[in-house]
């Protein structure tokens, strides 16, 4: 059974940095396309970033240059390094497996990031 | 960027009725690269449909997807109590974008 467990969320001031983690079991992170999707409070879903099996990465325009997706194969864990955080980055962040880089078939439970002074 | 517009915003129905949800794309979604998700309060989204019409593993056959090009539909026949939720469409033909969601609530 695939299980994705996010951690690292919390309250952070504007301009600050935070690193989210997504520990995977039941799948090998390096052998799958893995993504981050976020959801602002009371709002819809927004794709954030993806990392391909070959290591290629893509980002939404809203986070490009500020966020970095990466993985640690030895820990079977996906990361999202978030810098220069803004109030509009406040959201629940989900990690998800993207089948062939397309649609998301397995999701974590999410971790809440609140950017506020 | 392909913008997805879902309608209606809210659908109020009774258990046993059928629901028809629409997802319209701002440009053609090639290869019918469109998925549907269900989300309940406090939970992560769950994949229902991919490739516009293929049901994901374990999804009941009362959920069906159809459409092509710019117009797609999710149909839920015979609504069960557990089907009342928010539904999102998502395209993966050109980057990844989601619709704003349709809430199906109990009438």
> Tens place of pLDDT for every residue, chain A, 117 residues?
999 999 999 999 999 999 999 999 999 999 999 999 999 999 999 999 999 999 999 999 999 999 999 999 999 999 999 999 999 999 999 999 999 989 999 999 999 999 999
For residue A47, which residues of chain B lie inside 8 Å, CB to CB?
Answer: 95-98
Percent residues over pLDDT 90 in chain B: 97
For residue B35, which residues of chain A lie inside 8 Å, CB to CB?
Answer: 102-104
| Confidence (pLDDT) at A38 | 98
β-pairing, A10-12 with A111-115? parallel
Partner residue facing A107 (CB), from B45, B50, B88 = B45
A:B CB pairs within 8 Å: 51
Among A103, A109, A112, pick the best mutation site for testing chain B contact (most B Cβ within 10 A).
A103
Beta-carbon separation of A104 and B95 below 8 A = no
| Confidence (pLDDT) at B78 | 94
pLDDT in tens, B19-50: 999 999 999 998 889 999 999 999 999 999 99
In three-state secondary structure terms, A35 is strand
Give the alpha-carbon dihedral of A22, A28, A32, A33, to 10 degrees.
10
| Confidence (pLDDT) at B32 | 87
Partner residue facing B88 (CB), from A35, A45, A98 = A45
Measured in Å, how far apart are chain B's first and last C-alpha atoms?
36
Place of tokens 């629409």: B22
Beta-carbon separation of A94 and B101 below 8 A = no
CB under 8 Å to A60, separation ≥6 — which residues? A46, A47, A48, A49, B95
| Confidence (pLDDT) at B18 | 97
What integer is the mean pLDDT of B63-91? 97
Residue B72 to residue B53: CA distance in whole angstroms: 9
For residue A103, which residues of chain B lie inside 8 Å, CB to CB?
Answer: 35, 47, 50, 90, 92
**B57 pLDDT above the threshold of 90:** yes
Mean pLDDT of chain B: 97
CB under 8 Å to B72, separation ≥6 — which residues? B22, B23, B24, B25, B29, B34, B52, B65, B66, B89
For residue B88, which residues of chain A lie inside 8 Å, CB to CB?
Answer: 44-45
């Amino acid at each position: 059974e695939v299980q994705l467990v996010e951690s690292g969320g919390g309250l952070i001031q504007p301009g600050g940095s935070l690193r989210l983690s997504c520990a995977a079991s039941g799948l090998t992170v390096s052998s799958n396309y893995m993504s981050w999707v976020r959801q602002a409070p009371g709002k819809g879903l927004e794709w954030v970033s993806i990392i391909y099996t070959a290591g290629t990465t893509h980002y939404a325009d809203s986070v490009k240059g500020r966020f970095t997706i990466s993985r640690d194969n030895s820990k079977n864990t996906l990361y999202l390094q978030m810098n220069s955080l803004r109030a509009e980055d406040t959201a629940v962040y989900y990690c998800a497996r993207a089948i062939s880089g397309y649609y998301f078939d397995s999701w974590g439970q999410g971790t809440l990031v609140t950017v506020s002074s | 960027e392909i913008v997805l517009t879902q309608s209606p915003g809210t659908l109020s129905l009774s258990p046993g009725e059928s629901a028809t949800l629409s997802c319209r794309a701002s440009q053609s979604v090639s290869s019918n690269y469109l998925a549907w998700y269900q989300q309940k309060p406090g939970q992560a989204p769950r994949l229902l449909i991919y490739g516009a019409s293929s049901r994901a593993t374990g999804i009941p056959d009362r959920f069906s997807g159809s459409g092509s090009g710019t117009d797609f539909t999710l149909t839920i026949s015979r609504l069960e109590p557990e089907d009342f939720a928010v539904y999102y469409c998502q395209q993966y033909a050109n980057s990844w974008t989601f619709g704003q969601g349709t809430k199906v609530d109990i009438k």
